[in-house]
Amino acid sequence: MEILKQILSSDLGSTFNDASFLVFRVLLAIQLFRVHGLKKFRLENGQREVIPNPLGLPDQLNAIVASFADLVVPFLIILGLGTRLAVLPTIGVTAIGYFVVHRKDSLEVRDVPFMYTLSLLLVLALGAGRYSLDYYLLNLL
């Protein structure tokens, strides 16, 4: 029970900080979903997005992890539901994008996964804040 409280708790210090972080979380999640999540559905030239598999995972597992990270996690971030745990798969996907998939690309190309990874690490470190389902669940415990 104590571990659950640690995962759900988040003290950003003031109402302004909590409100600012809510806006940050929501905008980050919307952008992640719009730019990367919707690619999973869009067809370009009659084909779906090719999901890189640099770790050599089974193709189905790789597609599930990438889809979960880009389609489901953004909604969990917006709601602030299980936020610290929810961002972990997306941090993994974006960090692998930065360190493995785009390691030889220009800084302009590497910038996108780098900024997502940093932003998601901030969410991991701070939690969801007061304006989240995590906060309300914590107060129910």
Residue entry with tokens 């990367």: 36
The rounded distance, in Å, linking the Cα atoms of 21 and 127 is: 10
- What SS3 class is residue 41? coil
Q: What is the pLDDT of residues 15-51, one digit of tens each?
A: 999 999 999 999 999 999 999 888 887 766 667 778 8
Q: What is the pLDDT of residues 46-100, one digit of tens each?
A: 677 788 999 999 999 999 999 999 999 999 999 999 999 999 999 999 999 999 9
The H or E element spanning position 4 is helix 2-8
Q: pTM for this one? A: 0.89
* Amino acid, single-letter form, for residue 53: N
